[in-house]
Amino acid sequence: MYDVIIIGAGVSGCAAARELSRYDLKVLVVESAEDVCCGTSKANSAIVHAGYDAKPGTLMAKLNVEGNRMMEQVCQDLDVPFDRIGSLVVCRSDEDRSVLDKLLEQGRQNNVPGLRIVDRDELKEMEPHITDETQWALYAPTGGVVCPFTLTVAYAENAAANGVQFMFDTCVDQVIPTQSDTGKFFVLETSKGQLQAEVVVNAAGVYADRFHNQVSKEKIHITPRRGSYNLMDKSAGNHVRHVIFPLPSDKGKGTLVTPTVHGNLLIGPTAVDIEDPEGTNTTAQELDAVVQTSGKYIADIPYRETITSFAGLRAHEDGHEFRIGEVEDCPGFVDCAGIESPGLTSAPAIGVMVAECVSKILNAEKKMDFDPLREGVLDPKTLTPEAYIELIRQEPAYGNIVCRCESITEGEIIDAIRRTPGAKSLDGVKRRTRAGMGRCQAGFCSPRVMEILSRELGVPLEEITKSGGESRIIVGKDKFAG
């Protein structure tokens, strides 16, 4: 019997796990995929929003601004790349200026610091590639970019270091509220058997409505809202300097153009409501739309430098609001649902809110030995030449470059595999180290990373996958080898 089971190892579930690990509780995170950060958390804009978009007075507005404020400290404690580069909402006509004014006013009500309107001249100075039609912008200096993979992984690693357990490849089927002589608890029917917990945290992303509706009479509905993106080479990363949004629409914040925290250029997303909660495929229409829309306010985007395109699903709840807290008609069941944008930004605040809610239910005490710090995978490029040479002397694997595009060494890959929870697949290695995330998109390094995974995990090469399940890279030996 666990005190708490968290369903879902996305950024919300992992942030909640880490904040709960401050308490003297037995916590388990169950995840249907093979790793953390496999759903919405891995395919989004990677933006830390300032907080002027959300309607004043909503939980979304509150947690966005709080999360933004907390991000610096969290990223420092957990060693996560974060850059407060500022954001701009641009408009192309004087009539649209009123929308910016409204956003500005909304932002002030939400307590977003430093907001101001900039005119075309200043905008051109800030963003030389702005199109001729673009007239005004709302500037938010607190906007930024973060690495969503590292943030999620870091939360998970720090949670694990503080005692939280993780079960992967475990699909929850049913959450059953149960009454026994000793009290109320939950039985979770999973693909790996029964699990029991006093409190369940529902951080299941696009599946969160399923679990909520299993235990509550008040039904909720979540729509997977797909967003497609184009990612460009680092050579294009300086094309813009801020996160640049068009005017928002009823479907969201629109197609943005931004440098990523690692120096690539990212454009997207679209917003298309779909039925399939696994429908992360891109379509020609959406990829076209990304190009068409972004080109309206940023000129000369070097689309030719595109290295990959991808799609992610937002967990859009009908009320467009975060639903966080104990479900009224099911005590002990804590929702963390409807976490769409600005969910990544809000994650630090969401984690705290969930942990406070759960600890209250369980009357939990804080631990004395909680360690808030996590050290990231060592990037030897950040060392002085002398320190680098010394590192290679001790660990020669840091002298072997495996991913030539991102200059990732064997030492970093081994580190990522040996962590808890560690990388088990090519994508797991990629998200933790960036090996395979560069311009050749793993063409050169994947056979080498497979070798290292096989050796470190003690499994045959044939069993190495791209991302768990049936995603094996090779299907067998060739005639000569076989």
Partner 1 sequence: MNRTKIAVIGGGPAGLAAAIEAKKAGEDSILVLERDRCLGGILNQCIHNGFGLHTFKEELTGPEYAQRFIDQVRELEIPCRLGTMVMSIAMAEDGSSDKIVTYLNHEEGLVQLRAEAVILAMGCRERPRGALNIPGFRPAGIYTAGTAQKLVNIDGFMPGRSVVILGSGDIGLIMARRMTLEGAKVQAVAELMPYSGGLKRNIVQCLDDFGIPLKLSHTVVNIEGKERVKAVTIAKVDERNKPIPGTEERFECDTLLLSCGLLPENELTSGLGAVISPVTRGPEVNESLETSIPGVFACGNVLHVHDLVDFVSQEAAQAGRNAARFVQGQAGETPTPDIRVTAENGVRYTVPEIINPGRMEDTLTLRFRVGAVYQDIYESVYVNDRRILHRKKKIAAPGEMETVVIKKDSFDQAGEVKSITVRLEEE
Which residues are tagged catalytic? 49
Residue 480 contacts partner 1 per CB under 8 A: yes
Q: Which of 278, 300, 329, 375 binds partner 1 (CB under 8 A)?
A: 278
Residue 302 contacts partner 1 per CB under 8 A: no
Residue 454 contacts partner 1 per CB under 8 A: no
CB 85 within 8 A of CB 259: yes
CB-side neighbour CA atoms (13 Å) of 42: 18
Q: How far is the C-alpha of 414 from the C-alpha of 397, rounded, in Å? A: 8
Residue 399 contacts partner 1 per CB under 8 A: yes
Residue 263 contacts partner 1 per CB under 8 A: no
Residue 196 contacts partner 1 per CB under 8 A: no
CB 324 within 8 A of CB 357: yes
The phi, psi pair for 42, rounded to 5°, reads -95, -15
Tokens 């020609």 map to which residue? 284
Which 3 state secondary structure label does DSSP give 194? strand
Is 373 or 389 the residue whose CB approaches partner 1 more closely? 389
Q: Which of 280, 294, 345, 433 binds partner 1 (CB under 8 A)?
A: 280
Is 196 or 441 the residue whose CB approaches partner 1 more closely? 441
Nearest distance from C-beta of residue 396 to partner 1, angstroms? 4
- Which spans in 400-445 are helix H? 410-418, 426-433
Residue 396 contacts partner 1 per CB under 8 A: yes
Q: Which of 174, 213, 214, 283 binds partner 1 (CB under 8 A)?
A: 283
Nearest distance from C-beta of residue 417 to partner 1, angstroms? 18
Residue 466 contacts partner 1 per CB under 8 A: yes
| Cβ atoms within 10 Å, residue 305 | 18
Site for partner 1 in 226-255 (CB under 8 A): 230-231, 235
Is 67 or 312 the residue whose CB approaches partner 1 more closely? 312
Is 220 or 311 the residue whose CB approaches partner 1 more closely? 311
Q: Which residues contact 480 (CB under 8 A, 6 or more apart)?
A: none
Using the CB atoms, write b or e for 364-378: b if 16+ within 10 Å: beeeeeeeeebebbb
Q: Which of 122, 163, 310, 356 binds partner 1 (CB under 8 A)?
A: 310
Amino acid at site 466: K
Residue 388 contacts partner 1 per CB under 8 A: yes
Nearest distance from C-beta of residue 469 to partner 1, angstroms? 5
Amino acid at site 172: V
Q: How far is the C-alpha of 401 from the C-alpha of 408, rounded, in Å? A: 6
Instruction: Specify the pairing of strand 333-337 against strand 193-202.
Output: parallel
Residues pairing with 140 in the sheet: 87
Residue span 413-442 as binding mask against partner 1, x where in contact by CB under 8 A, dash where not:
--------------------------xxx-
Nearest distance from C-beta of residue 460 to partner 1, angstroms? 10
Q: Alpha carbon of 144 to those of 124, 180, 230, 249, 252: distances in Å?
A: 20, 49, 19, 21, 18
Residue 306 contacts partner 1 per CB under 8 A: yes
Q: Which residues bind partner 1 (CB under 8 A)?
A: 230-231, 235, 278, 280-284, 286-287, 306-310, 385, 388-389, 392-393, 396-401, 404-405, 407, 439-441, 443-444, 446-447, 461-462, 465-482
